Amino acid sequence: MRVRTHLGRDERGAAVVELAFALPVLIVMLWAFVQLAQVYRASAGIQQALGEGARYATLCLNPNSLGCTAPTAPQIKSKISASVYGIGPGTFTVFDPVGGTSGTAKYYDLKVSYSQPTTLLLLPGPTMRLSRSKRVWISTSS
């Protein structure tokens, strides 16, 4: 009976056992945070690229006495593709700019998406998808 009482009060090694339970959960949470940070950085890269594409779409490339030459859709797509950035295992998709008119005004709809598969170290996680679009109004020569 005395031995049993002694074992009930002995707490040596309790911290190691608690750490063994908590450490794997903490490591998985930190890894998930790193992957979320990669998606956040990709979001910033998409916004940067859409801004660069929008600025480029509004340029007057060859001004002359008759007006301007506006950038073409492939030129705008190329500018967006060159400006997009991010880290991690994800992939960016730059869609072709879609032109349109509203009354006498012309515009381009720009769109970029990002897809990243995630893992929880030993188990596969969900695929994170992110998409952003921007409408840019372009000037027309008179």
The distance of Cα 122 from the centroid of its chain, to the nearest Å, equals: 24
- pLDDT at residue number 142: 47
Which pTM was predicted? Answer: 0.80
Q: Cβ contacts of residue 85 below 8 Å, gap of 6+?
A: 45, 48, 49
Asked if the model's pLDDT at residue 5 lies above 60, the reply is no
Strands 123-138, 98-102: pairing kind = unpaired
End-to-end Cα separation, the chain, in angstroms: 102
C-alpha 29/C-alpha 120 separation (Å) is 8
Residue 87 pLDDT more than 90?
no
Which of 135, 131, 31 has its CA nearest to residue 88? 31
Tens of pLDDT, residue by residue over 90-127, are 999 999 999 999 998 999 999 999 999 988 888 888 99
Instruction: Convert the pLDDT of each residue in 31-84 to its tens digit.
Output: 989 998 999 999 999 999 999 999 999 998 888 888 888 899 999 999 999 999
Other beta carbons within 10 Å of 79: 21
Domain locations in the chain?
A: 2-138
